[in-house]
């Protein structure tokens, strides 16, 4: 069921008010209405009732439409305000429109009221949707400013359309400095990126994400390694409309990786030295064993006890016979 459209009619003439209502009924909409004839009643209705449209007579005993508009604006509500009048000249009509009325209708031509009613309600709905969208965009922008990662949006021509606070911190440029510029003019990329830039473009036009590491030059001329993910935004026809890039500084990770590589190299060098020492030690020990064995052999030939009883060395049969003899 359609939500009722509540109409506030500001009219002191009862018959004119009834005439307005009869015309509005021809709009074939689910409408409700209330009729007031002074500013206090108008303020009360606007404060306590959710009105969708106001229809106000130009001339009232206590105030006129211009004064009503001034008090209406104090409520800061965006709904149509239509003025009806029995006799309004061109100058008065201009005054009413400048005061903020959305349209005016002559009482002797109330057949215009229904088309004006439909048009103004539709435009008010469009304004509400536009404001809602603006609020959502503003909220999203505020949320993106809260995250620690750089978020940059470019259009299909690579022109920067969005640059969050983290981007300002990471690269040094403010949003005001870069919005409207080509991204390549702002962030000078390391030559290694150009090697696969063609593949990146192909992926973007196909709607595929692309993630990679690269080095860019900041505003102060220093370079910073980053990890970035490019996400394409396609229109309803599947054509590339924009690209969002989310990036973050990986300099600490790079430092950690480099430190680990140095440690591995140090360990490898240490192991190499240790192996060399082991080889030298083993070689010296083997020579000592050979020398001791030789002394034992001579002792056996002389018929005396071996000076170096090496239990772990096996005696030959000849040595055993010599020792027993």
In this structure, what token pair is assigned to residue 46?
Answer: 């606007």
Do the domains 147-249 and 5-141 match in fold?
no
Instruction: Say if CB 167 and CB 151 are below 8 A apart.
Output: yes
Instruction: Give the model's pLDDT for residue 274.
Output: 65
Q: Where are the domains of the chain?
A: 5-141, 147-249, 259-324
Give the number of other CB atoms < 10 A from CB of residue 137: 10
- Give the predicted TM-score (pTM) of the model: 0.55
Calculate the alpha carbon distances from 42 to 16, 45, 69, 286 in Å.
18, 5, 11, 113
Please state, for a pLDDT cut of 70, what percent of the chain lies above it.
75
CA 168/CA 88 separation, integer angstroms:
57
Instruction: Say if CB 33 and CB 55 are below 8 A apart.
Output: no
Instruction: Give the model's pLDDT for residue 195.
Output: 45
Instruction: Say if CB 66 and CB 75 are below 8 A apart.
Output: no
Instruction: Say if CB 54 and CB 81 are below 8 A apart.
Output: yes
Instruction: Give the model's pLDDT for residue 288.
Output: 65
CA 58/CA 242 separation, integer angstroms:
50
> What is the CATH architecture of 5-141?
3-Layer(aba) Sandwich (3.40)
More confident residue, 310 or 260: 260
Q: What are phi and psi of 7, to 5 degrees?
A: -110, 130
Instruction: Give the model's pLDDT for residue 193.
Output: 46
Q: 196 falls in which pLDDT band (50, 70, 90)?
A: very low
Instruction: Say if CB 186 and CB 176 are below 8 A apart.
Output: no
DSSP secondary structure string for all residues of 11-75: -S-HHHHHHHHHHHHTT-S-EEEEEE-SHHHHHHHHHHS--SEEEEESB-SS-BHHHHHHHHHTT
Q: 276 falls in which pLDDT band (50, 70, 90)?
A: low
Average pLDDT, the chain: 80
Predicted confidence (pLDDT) per residue in 83-105, tens digit: 998 766 777 778 888 888 999 88
Fold of 147-249: Beta-Lactamase (3.30.450)
Q: 275-278 — which CB contacts under 8 Å span 24+ positions?
A: none
Which of 49-53, 93-97, 238-242, 286-290 is predicted least confidently?
A: 286-290
Beta bridge partners of 162: 153
């Amino acid at each position: 069921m359609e939500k009722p459209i509540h109409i506030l009619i500001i009219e002191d003439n009862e018959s004119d008010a009834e005439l307005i209502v009869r015309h509005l009924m021809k709009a074939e909409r689910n409408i409700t209405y209330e009729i007031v004839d002074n500013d206090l009643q108008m303020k009360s209705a606007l404060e306590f009732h959710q009105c969708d449209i106001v229809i106000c007579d130009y001339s009232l005993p206590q105030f006129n439409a211009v004064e009503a508009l001034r008090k209406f604006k104090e409520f800061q509500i965006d709904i149509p305000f239509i003025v009806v009048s029995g006799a309004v000249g061109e100058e008065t009509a201009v005054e009413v429109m400048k005061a903020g009325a959305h349209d005016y209708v002559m009482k002797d031509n109330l057949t215009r009221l229904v088309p004006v009613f439909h048009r103004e309600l539709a435009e008010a709905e469009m304004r509400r949707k536009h404001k809602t969208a603006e609020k959502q965009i503003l909220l999203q922008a505020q949320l993106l400013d809260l995250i620690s990662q750089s978020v940059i949006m470019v259009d299909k021509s690579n022109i920067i359309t969005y640059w969050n606070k983290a981007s300002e911190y990471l690269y040094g440029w403010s949003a005001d400095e870069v919005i409207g510029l080509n991204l390549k003019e702002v962030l000078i990329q390391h030559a290694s990126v150009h090697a696969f830039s063609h593949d990146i473009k192909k992926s973007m036009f196909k709607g595929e994400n692309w993630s990679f590491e690269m080095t860019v030059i900041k505003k102060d001329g220093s370079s910073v390694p980053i990890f970035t993910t490019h996400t394409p935004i396609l229109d309803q026809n599947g054509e590339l409309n924009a690209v969002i890039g989310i990036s973050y500084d990986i300099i600490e990770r790079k430092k950690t990786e480099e430190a680990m590589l140095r440690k591995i190299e140090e360990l490898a060098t240490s192991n190499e030295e240790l192996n060399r020492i082991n080889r030298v030690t083993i070689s010296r020990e083997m020579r000592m064993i050979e020398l001791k064995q030789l002394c034992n052999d001579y002792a056996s030939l002389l018929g005396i006890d071996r000076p170096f009883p090496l239990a772990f060395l096996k005696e030959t049969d000849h040595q055993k016979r010599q020792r027993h003899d």
